[in-house]
């Protein structure tokens, strides 16, 4: 639990209502002594990294901050390809701190936030934290398994316990609301869920290596080096394979590594300044110019800024090729 650390940061200096909301996030280390029989790869470990965040706001800002946090959480999951998300509302437990009036306000705020976003939540009676109610975000992977990852908790009790305050418009000391938010929960666990969901074949934008360019002979090494520099310049994660191995062997090795795209370069491609592409499943995609191959990769990566990035790409490629040739001759 790293909430006290966030509290100490908040208490570092005096806060005004003009400073709120204050949003603090961190990737903090968490240790749990799990029994050895419960350990399960990345999905259950003893030491993991948690993407925890705390939002300090006024009571009037609480509803808006909850809505924005829910929208952010769902947007992140959708970006990773998880569309089927269940939301569960965990209400006050039997053993808790704070008055019923505070709990009524906090629970109603979460309910109003869900209504605003037209989300129907499952109610988990009595499953909230001892200091406040919470939302749990449950995703389903490709084979229907449920994984609870993100949480959102609203809290007016810990600010009371830790004597947190801000100066209001009238100059009075008032208690802020503390919102606890985690999107992924355990980063290690989320990576494990992703690998399970995609069976190791991650989307192109997530793959550590998106493209490998393989040479047929050592004659193409210089050309491939220039092309690799061009792709890297525009943010594509690319490697080259210039080993003196048969091309079929190279293709098989990189296919088994689930590399999304494999480019083959021989004398013909070198002379025409092109690349012959194939996808990870072995499907031939054809021969492309450098700009066509770049646009193909960006399209599959689904980068939102691709149009802006490639408005002058042909000029940039010509310049980079010219500079690379000049450097070689020099």
Active site members = 3, 32, 50, 52, 54, 134, 180
The 10 Å Cβ neighbour count of residue 124 is: 15
- Cβ–Cβ under 8 Å, residues 190 and 139: no
Q: How large is the C-alpha radius of gyration of the chain?
A: 26
- Cβ–Cβ under 8 Å, residues 161 and 97: yes
* DSSP secondary structure letters along 162-209: TT--EE-TTS-EEPPEEEEEEEEEEHHHHHHHHHHHHTT---GGG-S-
Closest CA to 266 of 217, 213, 228: 217
The 10 Å Cβ neighbour count of residue 172 is: 10
- Rounded to 5°, angle at Cα 287 from 282 and 293: 90
Q: How buried is residue 24: exposed, middle or buried, by Cβ count under 10 Å (0-12/13-18/19+)?
A: middle
Distance CA 192, CA 200 (A): 10
């Amino acid at each position: 639990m790293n909430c006290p650390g966030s509290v100490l940061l908040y208490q570092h200096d005096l806060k005004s209502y003009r400073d709120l909301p204050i949003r603090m996030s961190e990737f903090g280390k968490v240790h749990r002594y799990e029994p050895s029989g419960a350990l399960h790869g990345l999905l259950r470990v003893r030491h993991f990294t948690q993407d925890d965040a705390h939002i300090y706001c006024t009571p009037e800002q609480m509803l808006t901050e909850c809505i924005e946090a829910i929208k952010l959480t769902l947007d992140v999951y959708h970006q990773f390809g998880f569309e089927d998300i269940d939301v569960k509302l965990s209400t006050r437990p039997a053993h808790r701190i704070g008055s019923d009036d505070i709990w009524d306000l906090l629970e109603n705020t979460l309910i109003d936030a869900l209504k605003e976003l037209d989300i129907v939540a499952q109610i988990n009676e009595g499953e909230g934290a001892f200091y406040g109610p919470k939302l749990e975000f449950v995703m389903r992977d490709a084979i229907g398994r449920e994984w609870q990852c993100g949480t959102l908790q609203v809290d007016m009790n810990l600010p009371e316990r830790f004597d947190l305050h801000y100066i209001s418009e009238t100059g009075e000391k008032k208690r802020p609301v503390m919102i606890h938010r985690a999107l992924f929960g355990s980063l290690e666990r989320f990576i494990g869920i992703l690998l399970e969901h995609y069976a190791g074949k991650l989307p192109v934008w997530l793959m550590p290596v998106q493209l490998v360019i393989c040479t047929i002979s050592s004659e193409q090494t210089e050309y491939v080096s220039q092309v690799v520099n061009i792709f890297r310049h525009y943010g594509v994660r690319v490697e080259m394979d210039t080993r003196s191995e048969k091309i079929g062997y190279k293709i098989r090795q990189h296919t088994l590594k689930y590399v999304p795209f494999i480019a083959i370069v021989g004398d013909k491609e070198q002379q025409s300044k092109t690349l012959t592409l194939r996808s990870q499943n072995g499907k031939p995609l054809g021969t492309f110019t450098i700009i066509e191959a770049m646009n193909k990769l960006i399209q599959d990566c689904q980068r939102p800024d691709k149009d802006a990035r490639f408005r002058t790409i042909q000029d940039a490629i010509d310049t980079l090729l010219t500079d690379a040739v000049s450097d070689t001759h020099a």
